[in-house]
Amino acid sequence: MIVKKSYTAPRLLTQRPVVFDDPQEEASPEDLAATERLRPLYLLSRQTDVTPIATRFTIHGDRRRGNWQRVLHDPGAPSDSEWADTEGAWFFLGYVPHSSHFKIELQTLGPDAKTRIAVANEVSVPPHRKFELVILSKRGVAAFSNVAHLEHRQS
């Protein structure tokens, strides 16, 4: 004889929240200086057929590349930017230290459903800038029209 089990509605499993202890240790001067050096990095994509997915940064001199991080889609243009009215889709890539040279790798999803990587080398944010901007442009020869090109623009 086959016994049927009664239906049990699925339950949503909850994740245990991470709770920080009360801050006890004072931040070191080095930690404070490192935080002050961080600048937001934005991407302006002029390619309508390519979707930025993730990015990673490699600081010049580091042997290890950073981990891939998802990009934040459409955060809007920085309001105080001369690029605010420029046509294209905006993305937030992350925070980077000013006065350091770094490489940006950007994973993109093309219209052919293939993931490609665009690269910008020797990017550096001057210390007086509030943010930095890189542009995913439409330039390139017809044979390479599906390959993403990343160019560095100073804001």
pLDDT band at 105 (very low <50, low <70, confident <90, very high): very high
pLDDT digits (tens, 9 = 90+) for 70-92: 999 877 666 666 666 677 788 99
Q: Is the pTM of this model over 0.85?
A: no
pLDDT band at 64 (very low <50, low <70, confident <90, very high): confident
47 CB neighbour count, 10 Å cutoff:
22
Structure-token match 């599906």, residue found = 146
H/E stretch holding 30: helix 29-36
Q: Which domains does the chain have, with CATH numbers?
A: 29-153 (2.60.40)
